[in-house]
Amino acid sequence: MQLTVIDVVVIALYFLFNLGIALWLRKRATQSVSDFFVSGGNANWWLAGTSMVATTFAADTPLVVTGLVAKNGIAGNWIWWSMVFSGMLTVFFYAKLWRRAGVLTDVEFAEIRYAGRPAAFLRGFRAVYLGLPINLIIMGWVNLAIVKILMNVLGVTKVEALGITIVIMLLTASISTISGLWGVLWTDLFQFVLKMGMVIALAVFAVGASGGMGALLDDLRKVDAARDPGSSILSLVPDAGSAWMPMITFFVFIAVNWWASWYPGAEPGGGGYIAQRIFSAKDEKHSILATLWFNVAHYALRPWPWIIVALVAVVRYQNDPQFAADPESGYIRILISDLPAYLRGLMLAAFAAAYMSTIGTQLNWGASYLVNDVYKRFMVKGAPERHYVRVSQAVTMLLMLLSVIVTFYMESIADAWKILMALGAGTGLVYILRWFWWRINAWSEIAAMSTAFVVSLVLQFGFGLDEGNPRDFAWLLLVTVAVTSASWLAVTYLTKPEPAETLIAFYRRVRPNPALWGPVAARAADVAPQRDGVFNLVNWLLGAAMIYAFLFGAGKVILGSPVTGLVFLACGFAMGGLIYFNISRRGWESVGR
Out of 200-204, 348-352, 535-539, least confident range: 348-352
217 pLDDT band, cuts 50/70/90, is very high
Least confident of 187-201, 262-276, 404-418, 461-475: 404-418
Confidence class of residue 244 from pLDDT cuts 50, 70 and 90?
low
Highest mean pLDDT pick, 123-132, 292-301, 316-325: 292-301
Q: Which helix (H) or strand (E) holds 195?
A: helix 158-209
Q: Is the same domain home to 374 and 481?
A: no
**Is residue 27 exposed (0-12), middle (13-18) or buried (19+ Cβ within 10 Å)?**
exposed
Determine the 3-state secondary structure of 2 from DSSP: coil
- Kindly tell me if the per-residue pLDDT of 575 is higher than 60: yes
Asked whether residue 415 falls in the same domain as residue 430, the answer is no
- Give residue-wise pLDDT tens across range 535-552: 899 999 999 999 999 999
**Is residue 29 pLDDT above 70, yes or no?**
no
**Greater model confidence, 95 or 247:** 95
501 C-beta neighbours (distance < 10 Å), count:
10
How sure is the predictor about 517, in pLDDT bands with cuts at 50, 70 and 90?
A: very high
What is the three-state SS of 93-144? HHHHHHHHHCCCCHHHHHHHHCCHHHHHHHHHHHHHHHHHHHHHHHHHHHHH
pLDDT at 78 over 60: yes
* Whether 362 and 441 share a structural domain: no
Q: How many CB atoms lie within 10 A of CB 414?
A: 14
Contacts of 420 (CB under 8 A, 6+ apart): 134, 137, 138, 263, 264
**Residue 361 and residue 184 in contact, taking contact as beta carbons nearer than 8 Å:** yes
The whole-number average pLDDT for the span 406-427 is 67
Task: Looking at the structure, tell me whether residues 336 and 473 fall in a common domain.
Answer: no
Buried b (16+ CB within 10 A) or exposed e, 248-267: ebbebbeebbbbbbbbbbbb
Question: What is the C-alpha separation between 92 and 513, in angstroms, rounded?
Answer: 12
> How high is the mean pLDDT of the chain?
87
For residue 590, what pLDDT band results from cuts at 50, 70 and 90?
Answer: very low
Residue of higher predicted confidence among 529 and 507: 507
Residue 138 resides in a domain = yes
Structural domain ending residue among the three candidates 367, 389, 424: 424
Residue 247 CA to residue 237 CA, distance in Å, equals: 9
Residue 592 placed within a domain: no
Ranking 177-186, 191-200, 398-407, 455-464 by mean pLDDT, the lowest is 177-186
Beta bridge partners of 261: 425
- Tell which of 467, 497, 527 closes a domain: 497
pTM: 0.88
Residue 571 CB burial class (10 angstroms; 0-12, 13-18, ≥19): middle
CA distance 45 to 288: 8
Last residue of a domain, one of 497, 530, 546: 497
Q: What is the pLDDT of residue 529?
A: 80
For position 162, which CATH number holds? 1.20.1730.10
Q: Are 330 and 149 in contact (CB under 8 A)?
A: no
Least confident of 191-195, 219-223, 248-252, 332-336: 248-252
Q: What gap in Å lies between CA 401 and CA 423, rounded to an integer?
A: 24
Q: Tell me: pLDDT of 187 over 60.
A: yes
Residue 543, classed as helix, strand or coil, is helix
592 pLDDT higher than 50: no
263 has a pLDDT exceeding 50: yes
**Which of 233-242, 267-276, 362-371, 419-428 shows the lowest mean pLDDT across its residues?**
419-428
Answer yes or no: do 296 and 351 share one domain. Answer: yes
The answer on pLDDT for 332 being more than 80 is yes
Q: What percent of the chain has pLDDT over 70?
A: 94
Domain shared by 80 and 197, yes or no: yes
Q: What is the pLDDT of residue 412?
A: 58
Do residue 387 and residue 450 come from a single domain?
no
φ/ψ of 340, rounded to 5, equals: -60, 150
Stretch 456-474: mean pLDDT, rounded?
Answer: 82
Q: What is the DSSP letter of 464?
A: -
Read off the amino acid at residue 167: V
Task: Give the burial string for 350-368 (b: 16+ CB within 10 Å, else e).
Answer: bbbbbbbbbbbbbbbbbbb
Integer distance in angstroms from the first to the last C-alpha of the chain?
A: 56
Of residues 402, 298, 282, 368, the one with CA closest to residue 86? 298
Inform me whether the pLDDT recorded for 284 exceeds 90.
no
Are 391 and 278 contained in the same domain? yes
Structural domain that includes position 444: 425-497
Query: What pLDDT shows up at residue 238?
Result: 78
Cβ atoms of residues 498 and 442 within 8 Å: yes
Domain count for the chain, please give it.
Answer: 2
* Closest C-alpha to 398, from 185, 179, 177, 182: 177
Least confident of 90-94, 315-319, 358-362, 555-559: 358-362
Residues 373 and 330 grouped into a single domain: yes
Whether residue 263 is found in the same domain as residue 398: yes
CA 161 to chain centre: 26
**H-only helix segments in 32-109:** 33-38, 45-56, 61-72, 78-81, 84-89, 95-101
Mean pLDDT of 329-354: 88
Stretch 388-411: mean pLDDT? 84
The secondary element (H helix, E strand) that includes residue 225 is helix 213-227
pLDDT at 408: 77
Same domain, 196 and 119: yes
Give me the pLDDT at residue 591, please. Answer: 46
253 and 79 in contact (C-beta within 8 Å)? yes
Give the pLDDT band of residue 490 (cuts 50, 70, 90): very high
Same domain, 172 and 246: yes
Residue-wise pLDDT tens digits, 148-161: 888 888 888 888 88
Q: How many CB atoms lie within 10 A of CB 375?
A: 20
Return the sign of the alpha-carbon dihedral for residues 7, 9, 10, 11.
positive
pLDDT, residue 306, reads: 95
Nearest to residue 51, comparing CAs of 301, 274, 368? 274
